[in-house]
Amino acid sequence: MDIKESDAKIRDMEHIIEEKEREIQMLRDSIHEYNNINPVNEERVIQIERDLKEIDGLIRGLTAEMLDLKACVQKLSKSMDEKPVRKTDDIKSKNYPTVESPKVVAERKTAEKSLLSNSSKVEEEEEPEEALIIQPDGTMKRETKFGDEMIVADNRGGRVGTNLKRRPGERDPIDRKPLIYADDDDDTVEIKRKRR
């Protein structure tokens, strides 16, 4: 049985060898056809060799640069090893600026802007403004305006009956007359009567 098994193995191997030879022949034929269709040009080969030389030069240059960097890193590490280690007290003694998040910085800036705008509003309010004010004779005259934006005027053309005498403890008759309040911002007029 031993001989039969070895004969079978030999036949299998011969069969495999024949198949491989056929595949090799097919590859040779396809390469031959490819070369006939697209012939290899000498200029193309020369160009590829040039490109290879350029790539080789670039690789050598990069290798030299890497070696230079390695030498620099080694020098730096030696200098760091030679320097004495600083104490943590020296680091703490320096005044480093505090690091703030962008959100905190933005909030602080908006607060500063609002303070500046409020202070400018206060300054504007402190400065007396000039406005056209109706005079008792009905004419308009520029006068400095104090207080809020409201103009308070009596509805009469002046103090009528100023020569009238009051009894003790009695209010001035003008206090009982209605007052006209006019706002500069809009055209509304409000008439109020003072309490008696």
Summarize pLDDT for 97-134 with one digit per residue, the tens: 677 777 777 788 888 887 777 665 555 555 566 777 77
- As a whole number, the mean pLDDT across the chain is 75
Q: Which has the closest alpha carbon to 154: 186, 193, 195?
A: 193
> Which residues touch 36 (CB under 8 Å, ≥6 apart)?
none
| Total-model pTM | 0.27
Chain position carrying tokens 């002046």? 158
> Which residues touch 188 (CB under 8 Å, ≥6 apart)?
182
Q: pLDDT band for position 172 (50/70/90)?
A: low
Q: Which has the closest alpha carbon to 192: 152, 147, 156?
A: 152
Task: DSSP for 34-50, please give it.
Answer: HHHHSPPPHHHHHHHHH
